[in-house]
Amino acid sequence: MVVKSKGIVLGYLKYGDNSIIVRIFTEEYGYGSYIVNSIRSQKSKKSIGYFQPFSILDLVMYVKETRDLQRISEFKNNYPLHHLHTDSSKSAVTLFLTEVFSKLLQSEQSPNPQLFSFTEESIKKFDYLEEGVANFHLQFLLKVGPYLGYAVDEIEHLFSSTEQTTPSSEEFHRMESLMKEDYGTKIEMNRNSRNAILDAILNYYQHHAHIPKPKSLEILRSILN
């Protein structure tokens, strides 16, 4: 069956001599892996650059229910990203978030239009963000929880369920601001505070969603710090 959908790229692996397997969160089918044939071939008319993390694409796919790995036959940019892959800080945040988000999406094998819309709009805002770039991943991971069934209704819930040490009143206030304020809102914090808050968020998801420690965490911290 030939279907069309918008999709958000979360990463890819080389497959065979000239193909790739792409992890994509699609609007119509949720999270899945898709093969793109011959994209790494010298004769390919399209660049593998289409499949950079958080790219938003229009896709034409061959979908067969009896097959685990579906195939993408056509693709094009739905929304051009201007800064996400050229700014080192944004690239590091993007790499980190796509790794964590992929793990959180493992159970999203069916459509989740609210989650897709939230993620798409967040990416678009991040692309043009000038203030608060170093806080974007914190805000995204706090804000995305309700769409995945891991809502943090109160900051206390981040700590009460994981037996973590309760944060200082200053960090508590910062976390509330990160969760409630729009992306780009100026929220002052130093390296230690940012690292402590990220650790708390990751511990929460590791406890509830059983995700592993992100491999890109140290890369993120070395660039943002």
pLDDT in tens, 7-49: 999 999 999 989 999 999 999 989 999 999 999 988 888 899 9
User: What value, to the nearest 5°, has the Cα angle with vertex 173 and ends 171 and 177?
Assistant: 115
> Could you give the count of Cα atoms lying within 13 Å of 22 in the half-sphere of its Cβ?
32
Q: Which long-range contacts (CB under 8 A, 24 or more apart) does 73-76 make?
A: 73/2, 75/36, 75/46, 75/50, 76/50
- Give SS3 for 1: coil
**In the CATH scheme, what architecture does the domain 2-79 have?**
Beta Barrel (2.40)
State the residue for tokens 């993120």: 220
Q: Which residue intervals of the chain are DSSP H helices? A: 88-104, 113-128, 136-143, 145-148, 156-160, 169-180, 191-208, 217-224
Q: In the prediction, which pLDDT does 164 show?
A: 60
pLDDT in tens, 71-100: 999 999 999 999 999 999 999 999 999 999
Domain ranges of the chain: 2-79, 88-224
| Mean pLDDT, all residues of the chain | 89
> What pTM, to 2 d.p., does this model score?
0.92
Phi, psi dihedrals of residue 157, rounded to the nearest 5°? -65, -25
Q: Indicate if the pLDDT at residue 190 is higher than 60.
A: yes
